[in-house]
Amino acid sequence: MTTDKSFFLNLLIEPLIRVHLMSEENVRYTRLHTLPGVFALMMQDKVEGFPALRPHQQSAWHMFLAQLGALALEEERLHTKNSTFLPPTDETGWIYLLRQLTQRFFCPGQEKPWQDAPWCLVVSDDQLPAFLQPPIPGGISKNGKGVSVITTPDSLDLPIAAKNHDLKRKVLRNAAPDDWLFALISDQTMNGYSGRGHQGAARMNGGLSSRPFFGYSPLSGRPGAHLKRDLELMLDKRAEQLEIYEGFYASKIDGPLGKGLLWLEPWDGKKGLSFNELDLWFIDLCRRVRLIQTPSGALEALEATADATRITRAKETKGDTGDFWAPLKRTATEIKSFSPNFQGFSTPKICEILFNIDVKKETSWKIPPSLTNLESDGDSTLLLRLSALTRGQGKTEGYHERIIPLPAPVYEGISDTGNRALGVKAQQQLLDLKCLENALGTACAQMAPSRESDKKEKITAVNPYRERLRSKSDEKFFIILGQRCKKPEHENKIYLDWLLTLVDYTANTLLPEAMAAIRCPASRRLKAQVKAEKAFWNILRGKKSTFSALDILRSMGRKKYQDVYRLEEALNNACTQFTAENNDMKKKSYINALPYLEILRRKSDVNFADLRNRCKENPEEEEGIYLEWLLNLQRYTIENLLPEALKDLLGPSDLSQESLIKAKETFLRTLLDSNHAFTARDALSAQTLPLLSKNCR
């Protein structure tokens, strides 16, 4: 321990934080600002970003600023009795507000009543608080028992990455003060349990969990507008939240704040603080860390172990601490905060939380206060921002983030009880997407190895195409949901148009790519492709299908399926007629015809999406449009595919004009057979002689 009360890197008065700003000429530039200066710029919505802020630190930084700003504004409200939300837009105003939070802290011997030690990154006397660093009774030194020396800020809060692959360790060797600032905030407010003596933060469901972030921001996505909105909402919802947690915290609706800046309180590592001493918006502190300055002027961190968590009974709360940004899961026996798994924020999980759908019996979700719309939002679109760093035993399972535009009809319908009508629509979309995904997966599995031992390989082969479908559907999932609510008279058309677009994308892009890419023996590839396409369509329009676009797919889709099948049969009959007496040659001719059958099938699929759109735009002309499409496909088959298939079978030198005419006659006879359905039979009958005479010349 040292008795030198020297303070270094004072965030209140020294410009230490790099900020991206935009000039009047729309040129981005970087300036250093104080912490109060950052607040002032954020309230003016002038901040473009923070160059030193790493992706996994962004939500921690936002939540820290919001909690700190809300504590300062609430302290001022209690002092002035003024409930109007008017945050200062100047640096001086924020210096005053932040110092108000630490005025009760007084250092003996100081001439000023203000004490800035709690705002300094480095304070030599470890019996005094430093920024996010508690006083440590007994002191801390490099050679102390259980003390770790951390030389770079990315080692302080870096997620545990296997074999140093995901994020490289110790890369910030020439770190600036704001690198340490952001690392401290992330470490102290978001870290989990990482071994004996290294405790986790209180606002999460257990030491191996994580602190989730759910919030709205204006559509601009700018950090200042986001912070200002959350500050207004926090102050507006404070009384309601204190009623819910009455008796749990020290803070009262019209009384003094509880302990909010936990780094002001000494921590010996053995005894923690109680929740009933704290404020609703307390800023967590989970590690006994002190920054020091080396003789070379560089910063290092000393971290001492702790036998107990900073807040007693934090584990028993399971994250139910009134965190402004964390959803709560309620069951018959417990309430706990949401803890994302390695899959992150999937659309089904988001819908489950927002709309209380697909939950087990006696289970429901309580959305956080941050997901409340303000009157000032009007009918503008908001951004739903989700992020979390998921953990496992001794590992990090990934940083997950999603930013989703939410139309007004969607976010206005989100509540704890759930909007049933909105939930039903969301559930319908999820079920249809699941059906489409299953159809794609089943079809792709036809291409993969068929042995029982290769099931894992099948799943691995199919997953990339499932992910691409999910990504495509996620792009407009909530936008379509909003449009359906906004225009109920056109709801069915809006939804089916979007759903059929996804069907077309899956059938004409993903499935062909999958069939070409998935490893499959050459001897069974063509057969597997036919089985894959059949499996895909059977799931979507089969007898047990619940797909919302079932009627459309069954009407025009079934007709198209039957007609294309008849064209395939006609092409195959035309190719095999020359070898009817020779089974080996018949088999060879069928194999030779397979590639051309595949070409015919692909051409019909590619053109079918355009056909359906034309029929939708001109429903009264649907029959004529379809007939024209089918005749063009038939003409392409007889004039292009059939001659090429016969050349492969008989050889160019043996393909006589007589053989070609005979093959075309067989082709047309198959189509005109009255025992089998073919939509264009009557029109084709009138064209048969002209077609034959044209091809005989």
Name the architecture of domain 420-546. Orthogonal Bundle (1.10)
Q: Would you list the domain boundaries of the chain?
A: 7-389, 420-546, 549-697
Spatial CB neighbours of 202, under 8 Å, sequence gap ≥ 6: 284, 286, 309, 310, 311, 314, 317, 321
> Which long-range contacts link 517-525 to residues 24+ away (Cβ below 8 Å)?
518/444, 518/447, 518/448, 518/461, 518/462, 519/448, 519/449, 519/461, 520/447, 520/448, 520/449, 525/447
Arithmetic mean of pLDDT over the chain: 85
pTM for the predicted model, two decimal places: 0.82
Q: Which of the pair, 150 or 82, is modelled with greater confidence?
A: 150
Name the nearest CA neighbour of 396 among 194, 203, 187, 181. 194
Cα-flanking dihedrals φ and ψ of residue 291, to 5°? -90, 140
Q: 98-140 pLDDT, tens per residue?
A: 999 998 665 555 545 447 899 999 999 898 999 999 999 988 8
Helix 558-576 vs helix 583-617: angle between axes, to the nearest 10 degrees? 150
Per-residue CA distances from 656 to 406, 577, 578, 580 (Å): 66, 15, 12, 18
- 8 A C-beta contact, residue 614 and residue 625: yes
CA distance 630 to 379: 47
Give the range among 130-134, 227-231, 299-303, 337-341 with minimum mean pLDDT.
337-341
Residue 28: predicted pLDDT: 94
Output the six-digit token pair for 589. 């001719």
Band (69; pLDDT cuts 50, 70, 90): very high
Query: Which of these ranges, 400-409, 465-474, 552-561, 688-697, has the smallest mean pLDDT?
Result: 688-697
Residue 385 to residue 230: CA distance in whole angstroms: 12
Query: What whole-number distance in Å separates Cα of residue 148 and Cα of residue 136?
Result: 15
What confidence score (pLDDT) does residue 132 get? 97
Question: What average pLDDT score do residues 588-604 get?
Answer: 71
Residues 6+ apart with CB under 8 A from 550: 540, 541
Distances (CA, A) of 671 to 290, 566, 638: 85, 7, 11
CA pseudo-torsion sign 231, 236, 238, 241? negative
Q: Cα(238)–Cα(446) distance, rounded to whole angstroms?
A: 57
Task: Give CA separation, 686 vs 625, 633, 669, 680, 682, in Å.
Answer: 18, 17, 13, 10, 7
For residue range 279-331, list pLDDT tens digits in order: 999 999 999 999 999 988 899 999 999 989 999 988 899 999 999 999 999 98
- The pLDDT of 626-639, averaged and rounded, is 88
* The two structure tokens encoding residue 499: 């759903």
